[in-house]
Amino acid sequence: MRIVSGSRRGIPLKALPGDTTRPTTDKVKESLFNMIGPYFDGGISVELFGGSGSLSLEALSRGADSAYVFERNARACAIIKENAEKCRFHDELVIFRSDARNAAKKLKSMDVLADYLFIDPPYAQTEFYGLINDFIELELLTSDAIIICEHDKKMDLPESYGDFSRAKHVIYGSSAISIYRK
């Protein structure tokens, strides 16, 4: 696993050993970012279920201004921090050792609006995609925000969340990516 493109292209990233997390493969990550815009002109990324922090670090490498990662596993948080330091993004990346269910309230208290919301929970825990509604209800998404969900290909996510409609749905092996825009 590595940074696929941008200013930190090629930097290898660590992941938590075992099956505690399920890192997004480089192939899926590259395709995902090509779909939402290969390079960014600023913006804020929020990643729920951070794992290795790979998606946030990729967003920073491609031009996002800052990123917020929520991960409740302490060992995974340590790996995210190590990856951020290796990529020299320690100032741009904020790591919260916290359950993703607390993310919306925490970001609301900080007046943070997300341009990119990445949601990639353990596949068996489908209720976590409902956290998108928390971000919509608390008005934590910019007017041109993009919501990116990685999920099991057998899972059917709704066609829309509030004003955000599914713009793309692509399958990669056993995984699928659903992208929502206003």
User: Could you say which DSSP state residue 10 is in?
Assistant: T
Look up residue 135 and give its two tokens: 């971000």
What is the bridge-based pairing of β-strands 44-48 and 66-71? parallel
Provide the residue type at 52 as one letter: S
Q: What is the dihedral of CA 24, 106, 65, 87, to 10 degrees?
A: -50
Domains and their CATH numbers in the chain: 26-181 (3.40.50.150)
Total-model pTM: 0.94
Tens-digit pLDDT profile for the chain (182 aa)? 899 999 999 999 998 876 555 667 778 888 889 999 878 899 999 999 999 999 999 999 999 999 999 999 999 999 999 999 999 998 999 999 999 999 999 999 999 999 999 998 877 677 898 999 999 999 999 999 999 999 989 988 999 999 999 999 999 888 899 999 99
pLDDT of residue 57: 97
